[in-house]
Structure 1
Amino acid sequence: MKKLLFLLALGFFVMSCNDKKKEEESATENPNLEIHEKIAMANGLKEFDSISEIKFTFNVKVNDTLRSERQWVWNLESDKISLTEKDSTMSYTKKDSLAKEKEYIDQRFVNDSYWLLFPYQLKWSDADISEAKTAKAPISGKEMQMLTVSYPSEGGYTPGDSYDIYFNDDYMIQEWVYKASGGGREMATTWEDYEDYEGVKIAKMHKSADGSFELYFTDISVKE
């Protein structure tokens, strides 16, 4: 019996190691990938392509006061997006032309989904991405790889914004610094509490250095 238990434990250990190895290989198997592409792949960009629907609740808490709580349903096949906020549900379909009254929803969806799926935006969006370098992360003080993602000064809801992202050798983001356009406001938060949803890896918690600001996700589910 002891031998059987040992073999079972060994088997689970090997399976766990193999799973971790596969995750690392998925980001590095193509030597032609640039670093920002490796970040997207490590977070499950390939697996995201098989998702038909994703649900999540976007929450913001400041000094223990809940400031925002928005529930989203995104049907990726039809591109229909539904927002439930304060017992009211509104929907729209993303397309080239958007009715004026729908811009309220779209602006919030762009913001909330950006936090949720930022690693994929490194492939999806039109941004300038710097070369990676070694730098000290702003919150933990640890040496990590860092690159800067900068958006054009025109177009979008927040033109000219940029982000310094800090990540480990596994290409998973650990911290970032948001910088508003024009040298204005800056905010550093963590990327933590990662969870795997059918291969889609999501950091569920983002905190400021002093913990007074928390942006987090709940009720996450994906449908293949």
Structure 2
Amino acid sequence: MKFTYILLFSALAMVSCNNNQKTSENATLNDVVLENDSLQNIDIRHKIANANGFQDWKDVSDMAFTFNVDRGDSHFERAWIWKPKTGNVQMISLKDTLRYNRSKMDSLIKKTDAAFINDKYWLLAPFQLVWDEGISFSEKENVPAPISKDTLNQLTIVYGDEGGYTPGDAYDFFYDKNFKIKEWNYRKANAEKPTMTITWEDYKNYNGLEIATMHKDSTGNFKLYFTNISVKKETEN
């Protein structure tokens, strides 16, 4: 697998999880409501997050998943074991295994953490809507989805120009009446034209968390998907 190919997919959806921008995977919805000035925006994020099991996240102690990308005949994957309450992360690739804690990172570890943030964002984007701060919002109702052309609602978020791994990026979430994401646009640096448009498919329940395990482009030639997902709660340890 070419290194440039790995870098491409490490940068597709990177967002704000360094010391310059506040985020907390352990935050409850009540914490976020108290800290945010816009109840309307929180409400939409709340509904999308809860439609994917956010209320169960507070009990999650261990999570494992494998991030896969297929483009034509090319395949790339890397696996993660994550303990969100302690910040311990283990990355397993074809070439290496690396362990670190997200509260103690040097410049070399930050490169691995950037890949982790990318893969975690794809996996748990509905929760990132609640966790991430320093983002602005806009909403539209009854708009055509970019791939299926189904009539859906749209939530657009734009990250601030400072902090994070890729500041200034934007995402258009297209969600249905049940507040489940069906498609999204990723727009690098808030460009008008989408950098990538992808489906959200094959939702499966993992110990209360609803996760879209498959993402495809309009041609079906590009697939980003998750395998080997496991979710363990504190009461199960």
TM over 0.5: yes
In the TM superposition, what are the counterparts of 1:178-217 in structure 2 within 5 Å?
A: 178-181=186-189, 183=191, 186-217=195-226
CA distance in 1, matches of 2:152, 2:81: 34
Q: Post-superposition shift, 1:87?
A: 4.1
In the alignment, is the contact (CA less than 8 A) between 1:35 and 1:132 conserved in 2? no
- Would the aligned equivalents of 2:66 and 2:226 in 1 still touch at CA under 8 Å? yes
Partner residue, 1:117:
124
1:156 to 152, 159, 164: 164
Structure 2 unmatched runs, 5+: 1-38
* Deviation sequence 1:109-162 (CA, Å, 0-9, x none): 000000000000000002212134221000000110111011011111111110
Find the aligned partners of 1:91 and 1:132 in 2 and give their Cα distance: 42
How far apart in 1 are the matches of 2:110 and 2:120?
A: 15
> Larger deviation: 191-200 or 176-185?
176-185
CA–CA separation in structure 1 for the residues paired with 2:194 and 2:150: 23
AA in 2 matched with 1:38: K
Identity of aligned residues (%): 41
SS of aligned partner of 1:209: coil
Residue 58 of structure 2 is matched in structure 1 by 49
Greater relative CO (CA pairs within 8 A, separation 6+): 2
Q: Tell me, in whole angstroms, the C-alpha distance in 2 between the residues paired with 1:215 and 1:172.
A: 18
Q: Which structure has the greater CA radius of gyration? A: 1
Could you say what secondary structure the match of 2:110 adopts? helix
Local SS of the residue matching 1:108? helix
Aligned residue in 2 for 1:64: 73
Superposition pairs for residues 1-224 of structure 1, below 5 Å? 34-66=43-75, 68-95=76-103, 98-126=105-133, 127-181=135-189, 183=191, 186-224=195-233
Structure 1 stretches of at least 4 aligned residues deviating more than 6 Å after TM superposition: none
State the Cα distance separating 1:185 from its structure 2 match: 5.5
C-alpha separation in 1, matches of 2:61 and 2:140: 33
* Aligned residue identity for 1:89: T
* TM-score normalised by the chain length of structure 1: 0.82
- 1:213 counterpart letter in structure 2: F
Which stretch of the first structure deviates more once superposed, 180-189 or 103-112? 180-189
Deviations 1:23-74 (A, max 9, x none): xxxxxxxx986112100011011111111100000001111310x2010000
Distance 1:135 1:34 in 2: 20
Report the Cα offset of residue 198 of structure 1.
0.9
State the alpha-carbon separation in 1 of the partners of residues 229 and 95 from structure 2: 19
